[in-house]
Amino acid sequence: MALNDEYTELLYHLLPRGPAWEGDNPLLDGLAPSLTRVHQRGSDLMREIDPAQTTELINRYEKLYGLPDPCAPPGVQTLQQRQQRLDARANVIGGINEQFYRNQLDALGYETATIDQFQNLDASPDPEWGDKYRFYWQVNIPADANVTWQTCISACNSAIRTWGDTVAECVIDKLCPSHTVVVFAYPKGTKDAQN
């Protein structure tokens, strides 16, 4: 049964009993569509409560959570990216452990990204890090994430290929402990590309 029909039936059941109230009632038939619209707007509002699904209230949510921030200037992100960023800001529980950063990456759409920590190694994985390697950690984002190739309509001084997600990098950089250095890698099978 359609929602409109349910409200019509409900309104007819609210009438007192008797011959004066039998038959069609144009007032009640006219009220049912209004109640249906209110019901549907209430359902829309329930979806708007979730920052990951909000569309109508996204500007208010972003203002409340201080978005967009320098990680993503206004007008650059799609609605889905804005929802992911808002969800990451609003719903991910804080901490400075690997799971916290894993949750941030998941909320930003990188479920396959991995994190390598080097504090328990006996030697530095990169000679340039020297004896400070214990303060480095690495986020491995799949190489095919946000790959952009130069095309025939690109500027002649643009890079042949760029990759990476400046938003994800900025978010993790802002959240990482101040005594650590995060390195972003975009491996394709092996660790062949670092930013």
- CA angle in degrees (0–180, nearest 5) for 84-104-137: 145
Residue 149: per-residue pLDDT = 66
Residues 103 and 6: their CA atoms lie apart, in Å, by: 43
Residues 55 and 61: their CA atoms lie apart, in Å, by: 10
Residue 175: per-residue pLDDT = 87
Residue 192: per-residue pLDDT = 42
Residue 147: per-residue pLDDT = 61
Per-residue pLDDT of the chain (195 residues; tens, 9 = 90+): 799 999 999 998 888 888 877 888 888 889 999 999 999 999 998 889 888 899 999 999 999 888 888 887 777 788 988 898 888 888 777 777 888 899 888 888 888 899 998 888 888 888 888 888 889 999 998 876 666 667 777 777 777 766 677 888 888 888 888 888 999 988 875 444 444
Residues 69 and 55: their CA atoms lie apart, in Å, by: 19
Residue 146: per-residue pLDDT = 62
Residues 71 and 175: their CA atoms lie apart, in Å, by: 12
Residues in the chain: 195
Residue 40: per-residue pLDDT = 93
Residue 193: per-residue pLDDT = 42
Residues 161 and 83: their CA atoms lie apart, in Å, by: 27
Residue 190: per-residue pLDDT = 40
Residue 36: per-residue pLDDT = 94
Question: 128 in helix, strand or coil?
Answer: helix
Residue 15: per-residue pLDDT = 87
Residue 97: per-residue pLDDT = 85
